[in-house]
Structure 1
Amino acid sequence: MTLFRLECKTHRKTLLVWIIVVALLTLGLVSLFPAMKDMGLQQMDLKAMPKEMLKAFNLSDMAALSTIKGYFGYEFQYVMIATGIFSAMLGTNALAREESEGTISYLYAQPISRLSIVASKMVANSLIYTTYWLISMIFAFVSCLIFKEAGASVSNLFKAFAQLTFAGWIMGLTFLMVGFLLSSLLSSNKSATSLSLGLVFLTFILGVVGKLKDDFQVLVYFSPVDAALPSAVFKNGIEWNYIMTDLVVLFITCLLTFWFYKRKDLKV
C-alpha cells in the first residue's frame, strides 16, 4: 500500500500537466468547429486522392465533418495518439526508473516481494491513466455540447462518447502494459520516452498501412489506436474484434512482465 501511494504521489504533477494540456488542446480543436463548418469542408474536392488513402487517414466521409460527431471524431484521433504516448510512458518508466534512480535499494529494504512491486505499480499507474482519461473525456464531451450544431442529439452524442471512453480506456491500458513489459526488460529509463514514441507511432503506421490495401488488413490488429479510433467508433460503434485483440495483448504482456521481472538481475 505504501508503494501504491508513493507511485501515485510521484506522478501527481505529471498527471495534472497532461490533463491541462489535453483539455486546452481539445477545447481549441472543438472551438474551431463552427468556423470550419461554415467553410463547408464537406465540399472540399479530394477526388484526386486515392480512396484507400482517404480511408487510411479517416477522410473518406468529408460530409461528416459538418456535424460535431464527425468533426470531433477526425480531430480527436491526434489526441488519442498523445494518450497512447502518455500511457506507454507511464508503463515504460514504472519499473526501470527504480534501478535508474537507485531507489530499488529502498524497495528491497521493505517487506515486499518483486511480484508485489509489479502489482502495486500496475494498479497505481492504471489508476493514474484512468483518472486522466475520464477527466479528458468528460471535458471533451462538455466542449462538444457547447459547440455542437443546432439540432444535434445530446443522447446520441452521449452514447457515442460512452463507447469511445470504453474503447479508449482499453487502448491506453494496452499501451500501458506493453510499456510495463519493456520496463521489466530495461535497467534504465533513459530510453523510455523514445521507446514510448516509437511504440505508439509504429503501431499507428501499421494501422494506416493495413487500411491502404486489403492484403495488409491484418496489420490493423497490431494498432491499438485503431481499436479506439473516434471516427470509427462514432460511426460504427465499438469494433469488438479489435477490442478482444487488445485484451489478449494486455493479458499476455501483463503475465510476461511478472515473469521477466521475477527473474531479472536487478542493479541494487
Structure 2
Amino acid sequence: MTLFRLECRTHIKTLVIWIVVVGVLTLGLVSLFPAMKDMGLQQMDLKSMPKDMLKAFNLSDMAALATIKGYFGYEYQYIVIATGIFAAMLGTNALAREEAEGTIGYLYAQPITRLSIVGSKMLANSLLYTVYWAVSMAIAFLGCILFKESGASVHGLFKSFAQLAFSGWVMGLTFLVFGFLLSSFLSTNKSATSLSLGVVFLTFILGVVGKMNDDFQALVFFSPVDTALPSTVFKNGIEWNYIVTDLIVIMVSCLLTFWIYKRKDLKV
C-alpha cells in the first residue's frame, strides 16, 4: 500500500497537467462547433477523395458534422490518440524508472515481493488513468451540452458518452498494460516516451490500413484506438468484438509482465 501511494504521488503533477491541457483543448474544439456549423462544412465537396480514405479518417458522413455528436466524434478522435499516448507513457515508465533512478534498491530493502511491486504499480497507474479519463469525459460532456445545436437530446448525448467512456477506458488500459509489458524488458526509461508514441501511432496506422483495404481488415483488431473512436461509438454503439480483443491483450500482457519481471535481472 505504501508503494501504491508513492506511485500516485509521483504522477499527480503529470496527471493534473494532462487533465488541464486536454480539458482546455477539448472545450476549445467544442466551442468552435456553432461557427463551423454555420459555415456549412457538411456540404464540402469530397467526391474527389477515395471513399476508403474518407472512411479510414472518419469523414465518410460529412452531413453528420452539422450535429454536435458528429462534429465531436470527428474532432475528439485526436484526443483519443493523445489519451492512448498518456496511458502508454504511464505504463512504459512504471517499472523501468526504478532501475534508471536507482530506487529499486530502496524497494528491495522493503518487505515486498516483485509481484507486489508490479501489482501495486499497475493498480496505482490504472487509478491515475481512470481519474484522467473520467474528468476528461466529464469536461467533454459539459462542453457538448453547452454548445449543442437546438433540439439535440441531452439523454441521447449522455447515452453516447457513457458508451464512449467505457470504450475509451478499455482502450487506455490496453495501452497502459502493454506499456507495462514493454517496461518489464527495459532497464532505463529514456526510451519510454518514444516507445509510447511508436506503439500508439503504429497501431493507429494499422487500423487505418485495415479500413482502407478489405484484404487487410483484420489489422483493425491490432488498433486499440479503433475501440474508442467517438464517431464509430456514437453511430454504432460499443464494438464488443474490439472490446473482447482488448481484454485479451490486457490479460496476456498482465500475465507476461508478472512472469518476466519476476525472472528479470535487476540493476540494483
Determine if the TM-score, normalized by the shorter chain, exceeds 0.5.
yes
Q: Report Cα offsets for 1:160-207 as digits up to 9, x if no partner.
A: 000000000000000000000000000000000000000000000000
Provide the C-alpha distance between the structure 2 equivalents of 1:47 and 1:36, rounded to a whole number of angstroms: 20
SS in 1 for 2:238: coil
Match of 1:62 in 2: 62
CA distance in 1, matches of 2:134, 2:166: 10
Gaps of 5+ in 1: none
- CA distance in 1 between partners of 2:81 and 2:203 (Å): 10
Q: Distance in 2 between matches of 1:56 and 1:105?
A: 48
**SS of match in other structure, 2:95:** helix
Q: Structure 2, unaligned stretches of length 5 or more?
A: none
Distance (whole Å) between structure 2 residues aligned to residue 220 and residue 167 of structure 1: 15
Q: Please give the residue correspondences for 1:131-170 in structure 2 after superposition, counting only pairs within 5 Å.
A: 131-170=131-170
1:108 is matched by which residue type in structure 2? Answer: Y
1:45-84 alignment, distance < 5 Å: 45-84=45-84
Instruction: Provide the C-alpha distance between the structure 2 equivalents of 1:82 and 1:108, rounded to a whole number of angstroms.
Output: 34
1:239 aligns with 2:260: no
**CA offsets per residue over residues 129-185 of structure 1, 9 Å max, x none?**
000000000000000000000000000000000000000000000000000000000
SS in 2 for 1:11: helix
Counterpart CA distance in 2 for 1:26 and 1:205 is: 23
1:86 Cα deviation after fit: 0.2
1:74 alignment partner AA? Y
Which residue identity is paired with 1:63?
A: A
1:55: Cα distance to partner? 0.1
Aligned CA-pair RMSD: 0.3
SS of aligned partner of 1:16: helix
Give the fraction of aligned pairs with identical amino acids, expressed as a percent: 80
| CA distance in structure 2 between the partners assigned to 1:21 and 1:89 by the alignment | 16
Structure-2 separation of matches of 1:141 and 1:228: 15
Within 2, Cα distance between the matches of 1:10 and 1:228? Answer: 28
Q: How does 1:1-268 map to 2 (within 5 A)?
A: 1-268=1-268
Cα distance, 1:105 vs structure 2: 0.4
Normalised to the residue count of structure 2, the TM-score between the two structures is 1.00
Q: For residues 34-93 of structure 1, what are the alpha-carbon distances to aligned partners after superposition, in whole Å with 9 as ceiling and x for unaligned? A: 000000011000000010000000000000000000000000000000000000000000
Structure 2 Cα separation of the partners of residues 186 and 147 of structure 1: 45
